[in-house]
Structure 1
Amino acid sequence: MIEPNNSIQINAYSLEEVMDNSYDSIFVTDAEGNIIMANPTAERLLNLSIGQMVGKNIQELVEEGYWDKSIALEAIEKRASVTGTIKTRDGVNLMCTSRPLFDSQGNITMVISNSREKDTLVKLAQSLDKERELVQRYKEEVQYLREQGVKNQQLVAESAAMKNLLMEVNWVGPTESSVLLYGESGTGKEVLAKYIYSISRRAKEAFITVNCSAIPENLIEAELFGYEKGSFTGADAKGKPGLFELADKGTIFLDEIGEMPLVLQAKLLRVLENGDVRRIGGVSSKKVDFRLICATNRDLKKMVENKAFREDLFYRINVVPLQLAPLRDRPEDIIAMSNIFLKELNKKNGYNKVFSTETLKGFLNYSWPGNVRELRNLIERLAITTRDRVIDYQVEEISNLPGNRVSGLKHDQMDTFRITVSSKAPLKKVMNQIEQEYIRNILQECNGCVSEAARILDVDRSAIYRKVQVVKVRERE
Structure 2
Amino acid sequence: MENELLQIELNKIIETSNNNITVTDQDGIILRSNPNHWSIYGIEPDQYIGKSVYQLQKEGVLSPSIHAMVLEDKKPVQILQKTKTGRTVMATGFPVFDHNGEIMRAISYSQDQTEIFNLHEQYKGLEKKLVSYQTEVEELRGKEADYHGILYRSSSIEQIVKTIYSVSKTDASVLLLGPSGVGKSTFARMLHAQSNRKNEPFIEVNCSTIPETLFESEMFGYESGSFTGASKHGKQGLIENAEQGTLFLDEIGELPLAVQSKLLRVLQEKKVMRIGGKKERQVNFRLITATNKNIEEMVEKGEFRLDLFYRINIIPLQIPPLKDRKEDLPILINHYVQNINEKYQLAKKFHTSTYDVLTQYNWPGNVRELENILERIILTVDEETILPEHLPANFRSSIPHIEDRAASEINHVETEEHDWKTSIEKIETQLLKKASKHCKTTYEMADYLGISQPSVVRKLKQYAISRNL
1:344 equivalent in structure 2: 339
- Change in Cα spacing, 1:152 to 1:216, as seen in structure 2 (3 Å) is farther
Give the secondary structure class of the aligned counterpart of 1:222.
helix
1:363-442 correspondence runs (5 A): 363-393=358-388, 397-399=392-394
Q: SS where residue 392 of structure 2 aligns?
A: helix
Closer/same/farther in 2, CA of residues 160 and 398 from structure 1, 3 Å limit: farther
Runs (4+) off by over 4 Å: 150-153
Say yes or no: does 1:259 pair with 2:254: yes
- Find the partner of 1:210 among 198, 205, 213: 205
2:281 is the alignment partner of 1:316? no
Q: How does 1:61-100 map to 2 (within 5 A)?
A: none
Q: Please, what TM-score do these two structures have when normalized by structure 2?
A: 0.52
Structure 1's unaligned 5+ residue stretches are: 1-149, 409-477
**Deviation, structure 1 residue 164:** 1.5
Alignment of 1:51-450 (within 5 A): 154-393=149-388, 397-399=392-394
Tell me which amino acid in the other structure corresponds to 2:310: Y
Deviation per CA, 1:8-27: give whole Å up to 9, x if none: xxxxxxxxxxxxxxxxxxxx
Q: Tell me, in whole angstroms, the C-alpha distance in 1 between the residues paired with 2:325 and 2:259.
A: 36
User: What amino acid does structure 2 have at the position aligned with 1:179?
Assistant: V
- Asked whether the equivalents of residues 179 and 292 of structure 1 are also in contact (C-alpha less than 8 Å), the reply is yes
Distance 2:172 2:222 in 1: 29
Gaps of 5+ in 2: 1-144, 400-469
| Deviation, structure 1 residue 395 | 9.5
Q: Secondary structure of 2:199's partner?
A: coil
1:362 Cα deviation (Å)?
1.1
CA distance in 1, matches of 2:286, 2:391: 45
Determine the C-alpha separation between the residues in 2 that align with 1:364 and 1:220: 41
Deviations 1:424-458 (A, max 9, x none): xxxxxxxxxxxxxxxxxxxxxxxxxxxxxxxxxxx
Q: Look up the equivalent residue of 2:249 and give its one-letter code.
A: L
For 2:146 and 2:217, locate their aligned partners in 1 and report how far apart those are by CA, in whole Å.
29
1:261 maps to a residue whose letter is: P
Shift in Å at residue 360 of structure 1? 1.9
Percent of paired sites with the same residue: 46
In structure 2, distance between residues paired with 1:396 and 1:349: 20
Pair 1:298–1:227, CA change in 2 (3 A) = same
Query: Which whole-Å CA distance do the structure 1 matches of 2:294 and 2:230 have between them?
Result: 36
Pair member with larger Rg? 1
1:355-412: CA deviations, max 9, x gaps? 22222211222121111111111000010011122122259735279xxx9x99xxxx
For residues 322 and 394 of structure 1, do their structure 2 counterparts lie closer, same or farther at Cα, with a shift above 3 Å needed? farther
Deviation track 1:69-125 (CA, whole Å, cap 9, x = no partner) reads: xxxxxxxxxxxxxxxxxxxxxxxxxxxxxxxxxxxxxxxxxxxxxxxxxxxxxxxxx
CA deviation profile, 1:270-323 (whole Å, cap 9, x unmatched) = 000010001010001100000000000011000000000000000010000000
* 2:363 and 2:370 in contact (8 A); partners too: yes
For each residue in 1:174-206, what CA deviation from the matched residue of structure 2 results, as whole angstroms up to 9, or x when unmatched? 211100000000000000000000000000000
Assess if the C-alpha contact under 8 Å between 1:363 and 1:395 holds in 2: no
Classify the secondary structure of the residue corresponding to 1:203. coil
| Distance in 2, Cα, partners of 1:177 & 1:160 | 24
Checking the alignment, whether the CA contact within 8 Å between 1:366 and 1:395 is kept in structure 2 is: no
Residue pair 2:152, 2:332 contacting (<8 A) in 1 also: no
Q: Structure 1 length as normaliser, TM-score? A: 0.51
**What is the RMSD of the two structures over their aligned residues, measured on CA atoms?**
2.2
Which SS does the other structure have where 1:213 is aligned? coil
